[in-house]
Structure 1
């Protein structure tokens, strides 16, 4: 573990998830129940990293409302240093999703307009420049505007600090387009990778070639229940996910994979071992009803890691 802080910037909002109780009936009323918790790709990752023993600082816009209080309380509970930009006259962003009985997403609506106010000017402020320079690693998500992500990447490169990204969705991943060469890693699924590259490889081994051609030197592509692939400038590795007997909710699985991967990578692991740690962290999350599992810890990660197959080098 490093004593230096992981600086996380991006989505920290309220998730509202409706879970359907029976078989999904499209176009009709479905019995079910609502669940409300703090969420957001960056915030999920921040809480996971904190529970894995890292010092984590979160920077994100927030409204002066009850939803903002939910996010603040969740940050405190996870041990995250919470330093938001608060807009008292605005609403905290929210994400509303409908989940099938088996945990898979049906549809979601993201009300994220407040994130547009996290402008490049914020990155230029002295306090933010100092936070970036002092960070061990920066993690940002695509909830933020493209120009802000570009400013973050420029500042990180200038300070010699590695920066990683979470793609969030096919609609948002393009916000990283202009700073792909600056990223140490980008975490995405296949739909997001298709958006970035315009490619659709027949198998996992095709993604590193397509993404390198797009300007990304290293990244991770998840493929649902199929093998997850990670690559850097010269190598690629595939890890098959373990069987999960009790699926809680897939929300947050990609964020936890990024957390487990970065935690191991910061500790000196190669991309094969880092990917195994990422898959193990995702396994903990999908077994939980929460987007950031409260039971996440180094001990829980070690137990989950024992179920993850060895990495297979594919290139």
Structure 2
């Protein structure tokens, strides 16, 4: 069984969906929903449900929200190793959505992640966790100096390291260590923030990201073809049509989990992309950020809906 260490966001996602036409500056009828989330935590739970041995390290408050995250980790089979700050609150992301799911406004209360400083990586059990795993995955919720230290530690151990961009504002934290990252998962807005450019042709992302030192990356484009490059070549892949989309939250995180899980089974990049797209398709059909029915068997069945990746020249 492959062992994966995940460091990053594990917090509470709150989403309010307006049931009628949006009326700015007024009270809007709607429904409220909350669940554990965070890019790293979503990916960790997906990887565990697919059969990987996953350890998660993240800051957490000593509050009911933190307990909810702990329970979700246990339910998914994640080995949960948080840094608990009893006198502080667990981070949260609160979003207001229109009836069709488009974002109206969101508030990210992520102050606690500032306390995941580089010196915490020197703790003995954390050092041992780095050495004991086959892959290190982190997200850009963490402070820049901690991200740099994570990549440096993984590189020194010869352990592969992957990253999830999270947002255009946060992905820029990866610039100082971009050459040390083996796999990066990001969307077009995040790629534009990282490179400072927005090309006319999607395939140009490959050269733009390669020029800043990235070895391998997957650029998602919603329901349009994703672009990916790495040792196995350069590819594009059209996500399958999904009849019913319940919620797109967590789709990118599940795609990252599917791709990484397949790569760790020594599958080529083009086949790993199919696994990632299949995992994302299962996620958007669920009202949750992580499809609770996800399994290696269900993913294998869903692959039948995913076409082959095309080689880009």
TM-score category, normalised to shorter length: over 0.9
Q: Pick which of 96-105 and 172-181 moved more.
A: 96-105
Question: Contact between 2:37 and 2:289, CA under 8 Å: does it hold in 1?
Answer: yes
Runs of 4+ in 1 over 2 A off after TM superposition: 22-30, 99-107
- Give 1:37's match in structure 2, choosing from 19, 35, 38: 35
- Give 1:259's match in structure 2, choosing from 227, 249, 257: 257
**DSSP-derived class of the 1:268 partner:** coil
Map of 2:294 onto structure 1 = 296
Q: Distance in 2 between matches of 1:33 and 1:78?
A: 26
Q: Which runs of 5+ in 2 are unaligned?
A: none
Cα distance change on mapping 1:104 and 1:302 into 2, 3 Å? farther
Give TM-score scaled by structure 2 length: 0.97
Map of 1:181 onto structure 2 = 179
Q: Distance in 2 between matches of 1:26 and 1:302?
A: 44
- Give 1:76's match in structure 2, choosing from 63, 74, 77: 74
- Give 2:138's match in structure 1, choosing from 104, 124, 140: 140
- Give 1:117's match in structure 2, choosing from 108, 115, 118: 115
Q: Distance in 2 between matches of 1:227 and 1:294?
A: 26
User: CA RMSD of the aligned region, Å?
Assistant: 1.2
Q: Distance in 1 between matches of 2:13 and 2:39?
A: 11
Cα distance change on mapping 1:288 and 1:264 into 2, 3 Å? same
Structure 1 residues 1-315: aligned runs within 5 Å: 3-233=1-231, 235-315=233-313
Cα distance change on mapping 1:81 and 1:234 into 2, 3 Å? closer
Q: Distance in 1 between matches of 2:276 and 2:103?
A: 21
Question: Contact between 1:4 and 1:134, CA under 8 Å: does it hold in 2?
Answer: no
Q: Distance in 2 between matches of 1:305 and 1:10?
A: 29
Q: Distance in 2 between matches of 1:66 and 1:181?
A: 39
Distance apart, 1:98 and its partner CA? 1.6
Distance apart, 1:233 and its partner CA? 4.9
CA distances 1:89-117 after superposition (whole Å, capped 9, x unpaired): 00000000122333333322110010010
Q: Which runs of 5+ in 1 are unaligned?
A: none
Question: Contact between 1:15 and 1:37, CA under 8 Å: does it hold in 2?
Answer: yes
Distance apart, 1:26 and its partner CA? 4.2
Q: How many residues align?
A: 313
Question: Contact between 1:104 and 1:250, CA under 8 Å: does it hold in 2?
Answer: no
Question: Contact between 1:194 and 1:200, CA under 8 Å: does it hold in 2?
Answer: yes
